[in-house]
Amino acid sequence: MATPPHQPLPPYGFGRPAPLPCDVCGAIPAVHTVVRGHQGLVVTLRFLTKEGTFCRTCGTSLYRKMTSDTLWQGWWGLLSAFAAPVTLFMNIGARRRIRSLPHPVGNLRPQLAPGRRVLVRLPALIITGALVAALGVFVVPRLIPSTPPSFMAGDCGRNNAEWPEQDLEEVGCSSAEAEFWLSEGGKCWGMDWLVYLEYSAEQEMLCAHPMKK
Site residues, Zn ion (CB under 5 A): 22, 24-25, 27, 55, 58, 111
Neighbours of 14 (CB within 10 A): 9
CB of 96 to Zn ion, least distance (A): 17
User: Is the Cβ of residue 98 or residue 182 nearer to Zn ion in the bound state?
Assistant: 98
Question: What single letter denotes the amino acid at residue 76?
Answer: W
CB of 48 to Zn ion, least distance (A): 19
CB of 107 to Zn ion, least distance (A): 6
CB of 47 to Zn ion, least distance (A): 24
Is the previous residue joined to 210 through a cis bond, with omega within 30 degrees of 0?
A: no
User: Is the Cβ of residue 19 or residue 74 nearer to Zn ion in the bound state?
Assistant: 19
Pairing of the two strands 44-55 and 168-170: unpaired
Would you give the distance in Å from CA 117 to the centre of its chain?
17
User: Is the Cβ of residue 16 or residue 109 nearer to Zn ion in the bound state?
Assistant: 109
CB of 13 to Zn ion, least distance (A): 23
User: Is the Cβ of residue 56 or residue 209 nearer to Zn ion in the bound state?
Assistant: 56
- What phi-psi label fits residue 130: left (phi over 0), alpha (psi between -120 and 50 degrees) or beta? alpha
Residues 89-123 as b/e (b if ≥16 CB within 10 A, e otherwise) read: eebeebbebbeebeebeebeeebbebeeebeebeb
As a whole number of angstroms, the distance between CA 142 and CA 182 comes to 29
As a whole number of angstroms, the distance between CA 58 and CA 69 comes to 16
User: Is the Cβ of residue 40 or residue 104 nearer to Zn ion in the bound state?
Assistant: 104
Task: Return the C-alpha torsion angle 175, 179, 181, 185, nearest 10.
Answer: -160
User: Is the Cβ of residue 24 or residue 83 nearer to Zn ion in the bound state?
Assistant: 24
CB of 36 to Zn ion, least distance (A): 19
